[in-house]
Amino acid sequence: MEFTEEKIGFIGGGNMARAIGETLMQKGIFKPKNVWVSAKTEKTLAYWKNLGANTTFNNGEIFDNCDIVFLAVKPQYLEEAIMTTVTQFFFTGTVISVIVGVTIEKLEKLLMNTLRLGSFPNFSVFRTMPNTPLFVGEGITVYSASKDNSCKETKDIVEQIFSKIGMIEEVDESLIDSIGALSGSGPAYAYQMIEALADGGVKKGIPRALAMKLAAQVFVGAGKMVLETGKHPGQLKDEVCSPGGSTIAGIHAMELGGVRASLINAVEAAANRSKELGS
């Protein structure tokens, strides 16, 4: 399925909406004239206007004009965004949520009670968890479908959209908060580690720009090694560590600093917070 003539809507025009919509417009997959965005501020809408998209403060216009609607507001604003929406027509398209912590069941109840949506399965609801490297075509998105939605065509819509800008996997909804804490929040952990590695290089005399470039490429190369060789990260680590060498000395320093435990704790903390936000 191609999306050149599909009407695509975003309720919320922030970073995640941009990662999806702006990137796909740049690739020519979404036509700007067919993209609609609603937001609460003129500043956000002005950004999208400059890209050629249609903009509005009225969320109802998104549902009235679009075939595929992305819900991309912060979780604490979702109920307000839906409850204040007034539509003129019955919506029978696809709703794709990128909202942290909000279950499909909660989304369905909000939509059914507010948007004149009729009864299932006249429309499809998907819960997704993307990450911001979608901007550079290296994103990760996981998704779950409504239990009432078994239509292969609507699943294909979700998979084809996100596959244009990264990898996509269907998962059980019970895993989404945990996966979000890993792959959704993971880029932030990686950025912090890149910065720290570069700082270490600067401390030892490497110019800042070069240190940052080298540190970033370390993560690109290491990730590809894991994905393309199929080897366990522990094995790849061992292959770099010569007996009595410099790398094993660095690994020892990392263990003393609790890097491994800190990353495990980060994923756990982020998953717990996702559930809190959704409630």
Binding region: 11-16, 59, 72-75
Distance CA 255, CA 248 (A): 10
Binding site residue list for NADPH: 59
Q: Please give the order of strands across the beta sheet that includes 94-97.
A: 54-56, 35-38, 8-11, 68-71, 94-97, 124-129, 139-145, 166-170
**Cα torsion angle, 60, 67, 25, 150, sign:** positive
